Amino acid sequence: MKRKEKTKKAVQVAIVGGGIIGTLTARELSRYELDVLLLEKEAEVGWGTTKANSGIVHAGIHEDPGTLKARYCFPGNQMFPKLCAELDVSFRQNGILVVALSPEEMDMVHMYYQRGLERGVPVRLLSREEVVAQEPNLNPEVVGAVFAPEGGAVMPFELAAAAMENAVANGAELMVDSPVLDAWVEDGKKYLETPTHIVEADVVINAAGLFADEIARMFGDDSFSILPRKGEEYLFDLELSGLVKSTIFPVPRSKVSKGVLVISTADGNVMIGPTSDDVEDKDDVATSYSGFERIFSETRQLVPGLDPRKIITQFAGVRAASDRGDFVIEFSATVPGLLHLAGIESPGLTAAPAIAADVPKMLEEHGLRLVPKRDFQPRREGVVRFRELSREEQDELIRKNPAFGRMVCRCETVTEAEIVDAIRRGARTLDGVKFRTRAGAGRCQSGFCQPVIMEILSRELGIPVEQVSKRGAGTEPVHYKAKELLAKGVS
Amino acid sequence: MRELLVDVAVIGGGPAGLAAALAAYKAGAGEVLIIERNHELGGILQQCIHHGFGLHRFKAELTGPEYAQRFINELQETEIRVLLETMVLEVTKERDIYAVNSREGMLKIKAKAIVLAMGCRERTRGALRIPGKRPAGIFSAGTAQRYINIDGYIPGRKAVILGSGDIGLIMARRLTLEGAKVEAVVEVLPYAAGLARNVVQCLEDFDIPLYLQSTVIEIHGDERLEAVTIAQVDETWKPIQGTEQRIECDTLLLSVGLIPENELSSGAGVELDPITNGPKVDDTLMTSIPGVFACGNVLHVHDLVDNVSKEAERAGGFAAHYALGQLSTPVKRVKVEAGENIRYVVPHMISLDKPVEFFLRVQRPQEDVLLDVGGLRQVKKPSVRPSEMLNITLTPEVLRKLEGDTLRVRIVSPEEVGADA
């Protein structure tokens, strides 16, 4: 489509990027009488770095003093219980444990403990006996640990999708499949071009994650660069649930990363990872033999009982680290009204609610007048999770809606009613359904339920099965109707 | 919540469940119930539209649906009750079953005896940890089979198949017949994992290359699969540098093994065998929980459905006896042990007071050997292969000659036996 033919649209605030930062920011801004538009390049929100995030709500003891990471991490952590309750997303406050495997490593453990005390982070020093009592499956050679009970676990995609849903319910607008192709300033106004629209905005919030530097450069701002850093993760069968209660951290051996962890996810799976490797390509989400070997040998030192035969899937994500080694949270020095929320690497997920909560203040300082909405609804309509209910509650639900009696995903106990609800809330793809409901996320990795979910998506969205995709155009699992190839030939 | 009382509840209406239910009914169990999650009986047979089923049992070459239909027809002549589109959520050690469907809601089924016949699932890419990206176009072979044979969709036009298990071989032929091009079947072992007849009829007849001692080492493509890299492997299955080969394809099927689906069993507390991934059973096919029996692919992965039916009939019969209070507690229990070149033997425990049919698999192929059962009986085998199950029946008269409390099953060379004697 030529630029002239594209639809023009004017808003007060345009957010570029629907990751955890963009979606939570959209929700914060939807508290006010503002036109807010979020542009997401993928078919659904939360599909970049957010989707592959480890899901750890950090305690706030790892970050070096004086950094923006330290400034936002602990306050972010403190916001999670209320935020997750309002948005009805899974949150487990299962604590984080940094363990020392040698007397030398205890120095670092003491340092984290002291830092926790200084920052007001609840922390406890645990002796060897206390650690073993709390986590019996840890390496028996553990010397001691620092325990931060308010660390936790969420499903990052679920949180992003829920935040967006709530923002939209409060009047924000979402445009998916809308990558920003170009951006410029003209007569003091900022413009963003997507494949279908020219968006004019008073304020542009750059929450474009891995591509935030590219968005900045489109406006002529080259004040930071994103240095992509990949992390691979390996997820175990739910059968291993409970192997560790908290997320287990080693004492870090490098400045860049917190090390390879044994994670207890919000859904109860054990997961190991992530690696931390600089990559050239921002889309490089390939896993590797060497990545697995490193992760496995390191996490085995923490938890010797990890059995590689119980791994059900693996994935990789790319962190959007900035060349400053810290978050970039500031108005552009050269483009008035361009706010960067960039370089959000770990503990970005934990910090996200605190960063988002700061945005309205920053906009007010910039000169925007914010009038709170009288009818802002912080609570998202609750999601039914069939598997978590009692037998009596399940029985009652089926009587109200028979679709709860149709089990689609047997590994994770997900019913047709839950899938239809996810689609109603914005899922348009197999991954969208999976990340919202867990259907297809279990041990058979959708071998049994994928054809059924395809049918449901096809029916609910009113599209042919061949157009149902894994995660957007180009990722359709089945391409042809039977006999079509015979008619067309292979070539 | 509705409550049902039954004599024998069979979980799963595939080949194992059908045969078990019929046998339980014939053995005199009054109320026999099959609980099936699909909308029809027959299980995976319904998507196996190729022929080759029933050669042993019916002396006929049937398709999967035909084989299933013979049992379904027989079932219709009985009073066996069938609950379709009903999913079992939980089994307790007290033999209570919780199941749901959209018509009746939650059901609590109290059973005097239970037959576990849930079948198996396919191993996934994640379980193999194949490195690379995560594009669309990667399927387990059985899922692709369902897309083509049940739903009427073709996954893609150029395929590579990893693993030469029977479903993989069958799908190589099926895709070819649908007009797709199968570029390669890749097998990590030095021999095909599936039945010899399938190698001939599904690969050789269609000139589909089989790469042995090779595997897929990388997956390429951001959105749709674009290619895979395959490489030869050494004895430890590690890729050999310099043997990499890139094959362009839009579809990768995985036929890399089946895993018995025992989540319900372990939830009930049934003890599992780490080798078969199925329950440990005695010679009545009873698991570690009294009154809970197992048969078919949930017990161990079978080669032929004929063997599934046979085993399931025994499980169903014993389940009926148990429900009717006719199954006596054995006087003596003997442990069955897997010896030289034996991967596993089912059952795990025997009582010496009834005939036992042993099902077993070897670890590696061997030629001109003897199958030796506890020194009680030897049978000549011109060749043994891991893909083909072995079975042998011993009578109580022979079994009673056993000394000690362990029965060791092994593969031996004839010379070795000569030396022993």
- The tens digit of pLDDT for each residue in B260-306 reads 999 999 999 999 999 999 999 999 999 999 999 999 999 999 999 99
Give the CB-side neighbour count of residue B6, counting CA atoms within 13 A.
Answer: 32
Instruction: Assign 3-state DSSP to chain A and report helix, strand, coil percentages, each to 5.
Output: 35, 25, 40
**Does A313 contact B124 at a Cβ distance shorter than 8 Å?**
yes
Report the alpha-carbon distance of residue B49 to residue B52 in Å, rounded.
Answer: 10
> What does the pLDDT read at residue A316?
96
Q: How confident is the model at residue B126 (pLDDT cuts 50, 70, 90)?
A: confident
The secondary element (H helix, E strand) that includes residue B110 is strand B105-116
Pairing outcome for strands A414-415 and A407-409: antiparallel
Among A239, A286, A477, beta carbon nearest to B155: A477
Residue in chain B lying closest to A441 (CA) = B126
CA distances from A220 to A215, A321, B375 (A): 9, 20, 85
Question: What is the domain partition of chain B in residue ranges?
Answer: 1-122+257-327, 124-256, 330-421
> What does the pLDDT read at residue A188?
85
> What does the pLDDT read at residue A490?
54
Report the alpha-carbon distance of residue B139 to residue A433 in Å, rounded.
Answer: 18
Q: What are the structure tokens assigned to A261, written together?
A: 């962890």
Q: What are the structure tokens assigned to A167, written together?
A: 């923002």
Contact between B362 and B390 under an 8 Å Cβ cutoff? The reply is: yes
**Does A481 contact B152 at a Cβ distance shorter than 8 Å?**
yes
> What does the pLDDT read at residue A255?
74
Residues written for chain B:
421
Predicted TM-score of the model (pTM): 0.93
Report the alpha-carbon distance of residue A330 to residue A335 in Å, rounded.
Answer: 11
Pairing outcome for strands B81-83 and B87-91: unpaired
Which of these, B196, B201, B186, lies nearest to B304 by C-alpha position? B196
Compute the mean pLDDT over every residue in chain A, rounded to the nearest whole number.
96
Q: Average of pLDDT values for A448-473?
A: 96
Contact between A65 and A44 under an 8 Å Cβ cutoff? The reply is: no
Homologous superfamily in CATH for domain B1-122+257-327? FAD/NAD(P)-binding domain (3.50.50.60)
Start-to-end CA span in chain B (Å): 65
Mutation to test the B interface, candidates A41, A400, A414, A443, most B Cβ within 10 Å: A443
C-alpha distance from B354 to closest chain A C-alpha (Å): 37
**Does A235 contact B121 at a Cβ distance shorter than 8 Å?**
no
Is the CB of A400 inside 8 Å of chain B's CB atoms? no
Among B101, B137, B223, beta carbon nearest to A405: B101
Q: 3-class SS at B81?
A: strand
Contact between B291 and B95 under an 8 Å Cβ cutoff? The reply is: yes
Catalytic residue status for A110: no
% of chain B exceeding 90 in pLDDT: 90
**A139-173 as b/e: b if 16+ CB within 10 A:** beebbbbbbbbbbbbbbbbbbbbbbbbbbbbbbbb
> What does the pLDDT read at residue A107?
95
> Does the pLDDT of residue A319 top 90, yes or no?
yes
Q: 3-class SS at B285?
A: coil
Q: Which of residues 244-283 of A touch B (CB under 8 A)?
A: 283
> What does the pLDDT read at residue B417?
61
Side chain identity, residue B261: E
Topology alike, domains B1-122+257-327 and B124-256 = yes
Bond preceding residue A347 cis, omega within 30 of 0 = yes
> Does the pLDDT of residue A254 top 80, yes or no?
no
> Does the pLDDT of residue A480 top 80, yes or no?
yes
Classify domain B124-256 by CATH architecture. 3-Layer(bba) Sandwich (3.50)
Report the alpha-carbon distance of residue B383 to residue B36 in Å, rounded.
Answer: 38
Is the CB of B61 inside 8 Å of chain A's CB atoms? no
Is the CB of B174 inside 8 Å of chain A's CB atoms? no
Is the CB of A395 inside 8 Å of chain B's CB atoms? yes
Give the CB-side neighbour count of residue A449, counting CA atoms within 13 A.
Answer: 30
Query: For B358, phi and psi rounded to 5 degrees?
Result: -90, 135
Q: Average of pLDDT values for A277-302?
A: 94
**Does B179 contact A399 at a Cβ distance shorter than 8 Å?**
no
Q: Average of pLDDT values for A185-197?
A: 95
Which residues of chain A are within 8 Å of residue B158 when distances are taken between CB atoms? 490
pLDDT per position as a tens digit, B309-343 = 999 999 999 999 999 999 987 777 899 999 999 99
Report the alpha-carbon distance of residue B380 to residue B360 in Å, rounded.
Answer: 15
Any residues with CB less than 8 A from the CB of B388 and at least 6 apart, and which?
A: B195, B303, B361
Count other Cβ atoms within 10 Å, centred on residue A456. Answer: 21
**Does A451 contact B103 at a Cβ distance shorter than 8 Å?**
no
> What does the pLDDT read at residue B418?
53
Report the alpha-carbon distance of residue A235 to residue A241 in Å, rounded.
Answer: 11
Q: Which residue has the tokens 């091009």?
A: B181
Under DSSP, the state recorded for A287 is B
Which residues of chain B are within 8 Å of residue A471 when distances are taken between CB atoms? 136
Q: Average of pLDDT values for B149-178?
A: 96
Report the alpha-carbon distance of residue B34 to residue B44 in Å, rounded.
Answer: 16
Residue in chain B lying closest to A307 (CA) = B127
The secondary element (H helix, E strand) that includes residue B350 is strand B349-350
C-alpha distance from A25 to closest chain B C-alpha (Å): 29
Among B106, B127, B152, beta carbon nearest to A398: B106
> What does the pLDDT read at residue A483?
87
Map out the domains of chain A with their CATH numbers: 6-92+152-225+323-382 (3.50.50.60), 93-151+227-277+286-316 (3.30.9.10), 386-467 (1.10.10.1100)
Most confident segment among A205-219, A298-312, B402-416:
A205-219
Classify domain B330-421 by CATH architecture. Sandwich (2.60)
> Does the pLDDT of residue B420 top 90, yes or no?
no
Give the CB-side neighbour count of residue A249, counting CA atoms within 13 A.
Answer: 27
Q: Average of pLDDT values for B167-189?
A: 96
Q: Average of pLDDT values for A438-453?
A: 93
Among B102, B105, B133, beta carbon nearest to A286: B133
> What does the pLDDT read at residue B421?
39
Among A283, A286, A465, beta carbon nearest to B132: A286
Q: What are the structure tokens assigned to A209, written together?
A: 């994650």
Which residues of chain B are within 8 Å of residue A392 when distances are taken between CB atoms? 1, 106
C-alpha distance from B74 to closest chain A C-alpha (Å): 28
Contact between A171 and A30 under an 8 Å Cβ cutoff? The reply is: yes
Q: Which residue has the tokens 């406006």?
A: A219
C-alpha distance from A311 to closest chain B C-alpha (Å): 6
Contact between A270 and A263 under an 8 Å Cβ cutoff? The reply is: yes
- Residues pairing with B105 in the sheet: B101
Under DSSP, the state recorded for B341 is T
Helices (H), B234-352: 263-268, 305-323
Is the CB of B222 inside 8 Å of chain A's CB atoms? yes
- Residues pairing with A290 in the sheet: none
Pairing outcome for strands B81-83 and A36-39: unpaired
Under DSSP, the state recorded for A354 is H
Q: What are the structure tokens assigned to B146, written together?
A: 């369902």
